Structure 1
Amino acid sequence: GVGWVFRDYQDIILAVDNRRLVPQNDPPTIEALAIYYGMPSGERLGYHILVVEFDAGVIVDAINNSGSCDATYGNIIDDIRELKLGFEACFVGYISKEDNYLTHTIAFLAKDPMWNVYD
């Protein structure tokens, strides 16, 4: 599955959620799907400005590149670019795996129904 964490500018956790997926054999596709499913959650929560930090550099580069993405996950990248337009501002940037460890841990814990913000 994939998960995401919403924090405010002071790094206070506002919400966490996750989604189970059909198993994928392509890690970049899984990473792209995490963003694809996480962004609408931010919209439903009423966030107008989104900063997406991700430790998959290839996905961050593909999203921020205006050219077409010919990878197997290219259609997901196109959908993410379209989702970005629904926000007042949406920035996608790279964060190292080490710096993203806490987010990964919290997203993993979101598998517990107690933490889910949606059905």
Structure 2
Amino acid sequence: MLNTLVDQFIHSPRFVVWLVPFSKISLQLSPSPQLPLIQSFCNNGDPPENNFYKVNFDAATFRSTNSAGIGVIVHDFAREVIGALSLLISMPQSVATAEALACLRAMKFAAEIGLTWVVIEGDSAVIINALTTANGDQTSHGNIIEDICALALGFQLVDFHHVPRDCNSVVDAVAKKASTVTSLQV
């Protein structure tokens, strides 16, 4: 059942994508032996380093409609939003599974718009810990964690960060917006 849910999620036409021009994305990036430490905007007000993009994700559940919403926001080193995504899916087995699906969609969205150096931020400690400690494979969402890790191999650099819930409030609003999504809008 979960694999069907993941397939539905990844291939669903029922999502909204907002994109603004992003000519900066087509940069050719070369790996650097000294990678800078990236901090959350909320923690210190600093944007990501040049050539890095922050990708925030969140999930919201709508029990009345037995569905969930996924939100993703991408911003660049100048703090400008370059893309956002809102997606309505069937209610997953757990909130952690919804958060894992949101992270998976965030990774897929980052790849689709051509990013190669990303900092993925979410407020689910369970999911971020599973990704950074390799302890998520025995959970009900372990196969989604594996899919996220497989997608990460296609990037030059991926760094997963946990952020406090109040630092993720904008993407939470985007996830909640999914309850009104009826068709693909670009």
Q: TM-score range by the shorter chain?
A: 0.7 to 0.9
1:15 is the counterpart of 2:83: yes
Deviation of the 1:10 alpha carbon? 2.8
Deviation of the 1:107 alpha carbon? 4.2
Please state whether the residue corresponding to 2:131 is helix, strand or coil: helix
Q: TM-score, normalization: structure 2?
A: 0.57
Of all paired residues, the percent bearing the same amino acid is: 26
11, 18, 24: which is aligned to 2:92? Answer: 24
Larger Rg: 2
Deviation of the 1:64 alpha carbon? 0.9
Q: Give the match for residue 56 of structure 1.
A: 124
- Stretches of structure 2 that go unaligned for 5 or more consecutive residues are 1-68
- Cα RMSD after superposing both structures: 2.2
Q: TM-score, normalization: structure 1?
A: 0.86
Structure 2 counterpart of 1:23, one-letter code: M
TM-aligned CA distance change 1:58 to 1:67, over 3 Å: closer
TM-aligned CA distance change 1:13 to 1:54, over 3 Å: same
Structure 1 counterpart of 2:74, one-letter code: F
| Contact preservation (8 Å) 1:5, 1:107 | no
1:69 is the counterpart of 2:137: yes
| Contact preservation (8 Å) 1:16, 1:116 | no
Structure 2 counterpart of 1:64, one-letter code: T
Aligned residues: 117
Q: Cα deviation per residue 1:10-54 (whole Å; 9 max; x = unaligned)?
A: 321110112221112400000000011121111110111111100
Please state whether the residue corresponding to 2:89 is helix, strand or coil: coil
Please state whether the residue corresponding to 1:79 is helix, strand or coil: helix
Give matches, 1:1-119, under 5 Å.
Answer: 1-67=69-135, 69-109=137-177, 116-117=185-186
| Contact preservation (8 Å) 1:18, 1:116 | no
Give the number of the structure with larger relative contact order, counting CA–CA contacts within 8 Å between residues 6 or more apart.
Answer: 1
TM-aligned CA distance change 1:60 to 1:116, over 3 Å: farther
- Stretches of structure 1 that go unaligned for 5 or more consecutive residues are none
Deviation of the 1:59 alpha carbon? 0.5
